[in-house]
Structure 1
Amino acid sequence: MTNFQSEATVGDLGEQGILDAILPLLDSSKASLGPGDDAGALRVRGEEVLVSVDTLVENQDFRLIWPSGQEHKAYDIGWKSIAQNVSDINAMGGKATGAVISLSLPEGTELDWVKDLAQGVTDAIKYLGAQELTVLGGDLGKASEISVTTTVLGETEHGKVLRSGAQPGDLIAIAGHVGDAGAGLDVLEHHGDSAKWNRAVRRLVAGQCRPTPPLGSGPRAAESGAHALMDVSDGLIRDGSRLAKASGVSIDFDLQVLAKFAERLKPAANLTGHDPMKWVLHGGEDFGLLAVFGKDSKIPEEFTVIGKVTARSGRRSLVTVNGKPAAAKDGFDHFS
């Protein structure tokens, strides 16, 4: 696996020993019944419960050691397992309230590695602002590679907001980062020696390993009457195409506005020689929030308007940039 300093491994301890070590690190205080029985229990206030699930798999979604030589810490894997799921709840206009986590591990995995992952889960919940989220339980299993599957439940105060409500004449806006995670991934995959990265490059790498979705922006957008919401997990063009298809419209992004997001990616561009606009348009996993508002809406201040919604007709592209067709196939795809 990796060079950790712990003598104990998950194979030495067995399932109960692992649970005894990591459950104290996970906050279940807000559950009506936390880990320990056959299922957890969570009181809900609304009439609907939002549900999202995502999996992080070794060598598919992360590498323990990247080609750059950078170690991908268990803490960051735990953090990201929470971040990508609470982002989905945020993208429905909701707040996350409960989580269950399934963890599959090779038996030689050091216990300290697993405890570090659990601490990343706990700290993500705290520092991302998911104050109402509590860990209800989960599952442990043996596998040939590390796999973390997290399911998050949530509620919404103003009613869920779908992808399908965008209308011609609306404005499309984004909250959070765009392109940071894509730039960071490019650096991790292709451009070591990590010891020579400057602070700006490390910030972009952190955007890939420890993303910070704009929690709270989803409920604020819903309260402001957003017509449609969606998080950006697979790239602005690919996810914008999904929103446009669901709504039966087209979207035109403003290249001049997007160039401002590309500006902050220049440290990685200087290192890699790549066009930073590639990361803005096609880089995923920043988990920024796309929101569609009526043109007369009061848009929350953390959102930047990056384009407009137009009528879909004939063979018009789902997404254009300054009126020119953009290919969604360049975004992230697990099976490409």
Structure 2
Amino acid sequence: MGADDSSATVRELGEFALIARMNAGRAQGRGVLLGPGDDAAVLAAPDGRLVVTTDMLVQNRHFRLDWSAPEEIGRKAIAQNAADVVAMGAVPTAFVVALGCPGETPVAVIDGLAAGMWAEAARACGATIAGGDLVRSPELVISVTALGDLEGRAPVPRSGARAGDVVALAGRPGWSAAGLGILLAETAELPARIETLRSAALAAHRVPRPPYAAVLDAVRAGARPTAMADTSDGLLADLAHIAEASEVAVDLDSAALADPALAELATALEHDAAQWIRSGGEDHAFVAAWPAGTELPPEWRPIGRVTAGSGVTVDGAAHRGPRGWESFSGVESPPVGDPR
């Protein structure tokens, strides 16, 4: 079969031909000394340390092919892992991808996934895909392992926040949750202004855009937060992880979190923008604690403060309702394959 056989299925093309197709014409980054084609990849580790993280996406649990194009799903799979590496203050250098799919999967779907993965890997500071695995499975499953380079810096853990620190945010939380809400509700046609906002929310859900540079430019310039996380589970949930690890309390300013455009969309759709912002996940914005008196780097804005105590509050009061995503909890946000 040739390069134009995207109408074939994975079974018809075969495992090794498909792997070759996914890697054809792809250039490896400078940190990959030996890429796909051997039993394992060889990566450079000039810092002497590697930051490693992994995440998995399961069809109809984390994505739906009738809601997102394969390329969008590929980008999302890489973005959520790259954001975890950057949240440690490291630069993504390479990704390893394990893919499971039914034999009847069209090759065009795999082409789209691969294109999206390589495109997002490049956006995340020129990283590449160094290898992976391909197996048959009952449904589409994507497991990504990301590796990163600290470039001589200390990692930024969740456990370093101190009372008096300023809590700041880079990115726009709530938009992915809004997009998911729109998909679940299957909203009717809306006025032009609201349709524009609706399209922006759908795009945010389908392809998150972590502000990698907001973190990496800051840490490379010598700025250092005391604690940091990406908002994969939701702003309140991820700040709760920081508060617990650091043994401190966090209080957020609701006015600083307000997003007029998202509020306009929420009003039109009869939703709560504050709930989207506070507990909606998958935006992969970055939230960090910065030492008091620090001039915040570009793209960061203050949204609260760290105090003595425990837990996360909003305007000094406990938040009522879900805080974010928990995979095995009965109060999690609805998965994409289970519109309840």
What's the TM-score once normalised by structure 1's chain length?
A: 0.90
Aligned twin of 1:22: 22
**Do 1:179 and 1:283's aligned partners in 2 also have CA atoms closer than 8 Å?**
yes
Which residue does the alignment assign to 1:143?
A: 137
Q: Please point out which of 276, 279, 288 is paired with 1:291.
A: 288
Could you tell me how far apart the structure 2 residues matched to 1:166 and 1:192 are?
Answer: 41
> Which one-letter code corresponds to 2:195 in the other structure?
N
Q: Deviations over 1:90-118 (max 9, x none)?
A: 10011000110000001111001100111
Partner of 1:77: 73
1:53–1:150 CA contact under 8 A, matched in 2: yes
Give unmatched runs, 5+ long, in structure 1: 66-70
Distance of 1:104 and 1:192 partners within structure 2: 33
Distance of 2:225 and 2:269 partners within structure 1: 38
Counterpart residue type for residue 231 of structure 1? D
Alpha-carbon distance in structure 2 between the residues aligned to 1:166 and 1:220: 21
Q: 1:155 to 1:188 in 2, by over 3 A?
A: same
- Indicate conservation of the 8 Å contact 2:118/2:128, yes or no: no
Shift of 1:26: 4.1
Q: Does 1:302 align with 2:302?
A: no
Cα RMSD, aligned residues only: 1.9
Q: Offset of 1:63 from its aligned partner?
A: 1.3
1:187 to 182, 189, 213: 182
Cα pair distance change 1:52/1:327, threshold 3 Å: farther
Counterpart of 1:277 (choices 260, 274, 277) is 274
Q: 1:116 aligns to what?
A: 112
Q: 2:312 aligns with which of 309, 319, 326?
A: 319
CA apart distance, 1:6: 4.6
Q: Deviations over 1:195-219 (max 9, x none)?
A: 9872221111111110011113333
Distance 1:29 1:295 in 2: 38
Distance 2:130 2:320 in 1: 41
Q: Is the 8 A contact 1:78 1:118 kept in 2?
A: yes
The equivalent position to 1:167 in structure 2, one of 145, 162, 178, is 162
For structure 2, the 5+ residue unaligned runs are: 330-340
Q: How does 1:1-336 map onto structure 2 within 5 Å?
A: 6-24=6-24, 26-30=26-30, 31-65=32-66, 71-126=67-122, 128-131=123-126, 133-157=127-151, 158-193=153-188, 198-222=195-219, 223-259=222-258, 261=259, 263-312=260-309, 318-327=311-320, 329-336=322-329
CA distance in 2: counterparts of 1:43 and 1:181, whole angstroms: 35
Aligned-residue offset at 1:298: 2.3
* Aligned residue pairs, count: 319
- Aligned partner of 2:332 in structure 1 is none
TM normalised by structure 2 equals 0.89
Retained in 1: the 8 A contact 2:73–2:113?
yes
Name the residue aligned to 1:68.
Answer: none
